[in-house]
Amino acid sequence: MAVFHMSVPRAFVASVPRGFGDLLAREICEFGGLDVRERGNTVTFTGTLEVAYRICLESRVASRVHLELLRFEAADDPAIYSALRVIDWAAHIDTSGTLACVWSGRHPAISNTHFGVLRLKDAICDSLRDKTGKRPDIATFEPSVRVHAHAAGIRVTVSIDLSGEGLHRRGWRGDTAEAPLRENIAAGILMRAGWPEIAARGGGFIDPMCGGGTFVIEAARMAAGIAPNHRRQYFGFIGWKGHDVALWSRLVETSEARAVAGLVECKAKGLCLIGRDQDRRLLREAVINASRAGVAEITTFEVGELTTVTLPSPRGLLCTNPPWGVRLGDQEAARAVHAKLGTVLRERFGGWEASVLSGDASLGLELGLRAHRVHNVFVGALECRLLRLRVGESAVRDLRPRRGSQIDVLLATQPGAVMFSNRIRKNMKQLSAWLRREGVGCYRLYDADMPEYAFAIDLYTSFDGAERWLVVQEYQAPAQIPEESVRKRRSEALAGLVSATKIPADHVHLRTRRRVRRGDQYTKRGERGEFHVVGEGGLRFRVNFEDYLDTGLFLDHRITRTRLREGSLRKRVLNLFAYTGAATVYAAAGGAASTTTVDLSATYLDWAEANLALNQLSDPRHRFEQADAREWLAAAARRGEHYDLIFCDPPTFSNSKRMEGVLDLQRDHVALIEDCLAVLARGGLLVFTTNAQRFRMDEGLMARLPIRDISRETVPPDFSRNTNIHRAFEIR
């Protein structure tokens, strides 16, 4: 039975990628929504369940749709729990199904979103258990119902996510296709570009750098009137007790009929949308994607260089997302591609519309065409420019710098770049004596020394000294700072950095350092699999500059690792939360009688074993255990195992799917330390470290155990600008 009748208006909120709120608001009005209000990346409205269903099925730009259940104010945790219990959860959730909970925003009493999730889950499950004697299982993948709570100060809004997962997941993209753009962002760009009107007039379409075919496929489905989520199987309302099966079936049947008629009409018109790319592998994926999307009959994919593209019809739209040159080494190549695209447009596409998405405003200048409209479009957190061009003589204008091929050289001479270059040279000079004396080849070169240049820069040297690399982590700028200013500072810093260090641009690796959950630095970012061997303390270590948020070697623990080596002779050494096993390598090199390396990740244990092998230290005495460290400690204590030296460097927070429960270091460190002491041999030493900036050792623990704070002793000179980089303690 439905929770409410389909004709009864309710309050909803739909989310949308930044920059497309007006398009979503227009769609919702067309679907019959009332009181429609655009607010940044959300649109609030009232309407019937049919309006919400139509958004899930037919909106081309929406991300999610939430049905509001309750708004309340609560000053503290007990008040939040009590308010959540007011909702009749049994009217929404079947206890035989599954549940997922999401908490977002900021509340004075809940600083950790994971705690908010636990509190929301507890309130729902306690309510259901009291009423039905049962509670649903928790599932993060395709749950029957997903409940969302959002806090804005003490105000909390609770809703059910009717979409279930992002509506950009249309179901046609394969797992291996590269996806620089989400499908709803691509659709929003096409709507901005006027493609629906161009298609209605019989115009052509081409993407000369189509990759996995996102623009081509979304444009084809738009031209044929195929609903964006046509034939998608999973939505968040399917397992919701308020789901109106008859209403949904009727909407799906109407959508199916419209799709069939639309494809017939497109084929009758001879409409064909073209995607070209020079990467055959991506084109194979594009062909498969188009087939899954049901538009194989009106799309064509061709292998070809950008410069060989030809005009497919007298009028139409060229829409593309050329490379942005995010990495420093790619910037010149990106400029060259934009320049080629501009030449192709000017020489062959007169009378056409063109829409070009650019991540850097300066790249748009390379087109040599003046845009008649420019829209700000956000791809994730990155603000981009969508350039809309009417190709013709009136649009031709060379806007590039006079010496375009020398932009980087000129930039390096700009005052900001010179100032940053001087700072880098000063830091290198100040560290040079220490680097030579200690033989350090991998070190922190710069850490936001100048507030206007917010970067953390690490320099890595190969073990043989033949190569050097720079890892540049850009601290995410506050939202109030204009993106153009951020880009300008970044360009100046990178130009000055290359000038000062003489390290080749293709050895510079740039990433944005955002606030993330502790443990997310271990998350894989790519699949390039490029490893390099660097040296530290006369030892070899594998590092990776592209695939992970961290490289595999925590440079601030250099002194701590040295102390471990010095204290490992003939000792039984235990390395907990071992990551890539650098501490294990140091202990083995220091003559440890045995080492035991414990980590939850098989990937990092393999990496740790490879590091041992690199140093010819592989030996049966050095064992590796894939396990949750806390569970492993409990089992080791039951087995009566003891260790002379324990190194424990836990994450600040972890809720890995492979572990039971949640680790919150500030809350759980007392129990964790006590578990370590249970396997510490008499006279042994526990070294406990953390990079949690706000960590405070429990006062009761300090009072009853001989704990010595060695944080300042273990911060190396290259991290002296930030003495809070980590906390370290010795417990004997």
Mean pLDDT within 301-325? 89
Please choose, from the candidates 3, 7, 16, 1, the residue with its C-alpha nearest in 3D space to the C-alpha of residue 47.
7
pLDDT of residue 404: 35
Closest CA to 269 of 213, 220, 302, 215: 220
Residue with tokens 């690490």: 458
Look up the CATH architecture of domain 539-732: 3-Layer(aba) Sandwich (3.40)
How far does CA 539 lie from the centroid of its chain? Answer: 33
Distance CA 178, CA 463 (A): 34
pLDDT over 50 (residue 400): no
Output the CATH code of domain 183-233+262-407: 3.40.50.150
Domain with CATH 3.40.50.150 in the chain: 183-233+262-407, 539-732
Q: How far, in whole angstroms, is CA 354 from its chain's centroid?
A: 30
Mean pLDDT of the chain: 88
Cα–Cα distance measured from residue 113 to residue 343, given in angstroms and rounded to the nearest whole number: 50
Q: Considering Cα of 416, then 417, then 419, then 423, what sign does the dihedral take?
A: positive
Rounded to whole angstroms, the Cα distance separating 420 from 450 reads 8
Looking at 310-349, list the stretches that DSSP marks H as alpha helix, in order from N- to C-terminal side: 331-348
H helix or E strand, kind and range, residue 683: strand 680-690
* Amino acid 1: pLDDT: 36
Nearest partner of 200 among 265, 296, 256, 255, judged by Cα? 265
Residue 439 burial (C-beta neighbours within 10 Å; 0-12, 13-18, 19+): exposed
Cα–Cα distances (Å) from 150 to 13, 85, 107, 161, in that order, read 12, 16, 9, 12
Query: Measured between alpha carbons, how far is 19 from 17 in angstroms, rounded to an integer?
Result: 6
Give start-end residues of each CATH 3.30.2130.30 domain in the chain: 10-161
Residue 494 has pLDDT above 80, yes or no: yes
CB burial of 484-510 (b: ≥16 within 10 Å; e: otherwise) equals: eebbbbbbbbbbbbbbbbebebebbbb
- 201's tokens: 């007039």
List the alpha helices (DSSP H) in 449-506: 483-501
d(CA 350, CA 392): 5
Average pLDDT rounded to a whole number, residues 256-278: 93
Q: What is the pLDDT of residue 48?
A: 95
d(CA 171, CA 631): 39
Instruction: For residue 353, give the amino acid letter.
Output: E
Q: Is the pLDDT of residue 401 over 70?
A: no
User: Which of 3.30.2130.30, 1.10.10.10, 3.90.1070.10, 1.20.1530.20 would CATH assign to domain 10-161?
Assistant: 3.30.2130.30
Least reliable range by pLDDT among 82-86, 114-118, 206-210:
114-118
- The answer to whether residues 492 and 519 touch, using CB atoms and an 8 Å cutoff, is no
CB-CB contact of 26 with 191 (8 Å): no
Give the closest residue to 235 by CA, choosing from 313, 169, 295, 164: 164
pLDDT score, position 486: 77
Which range, of 185-199, 437-451, 503-517, 528-542, averages the lowest pLDDT?
503-517
Q: How large is the average pLDDT for residues 675-701?
A: 94
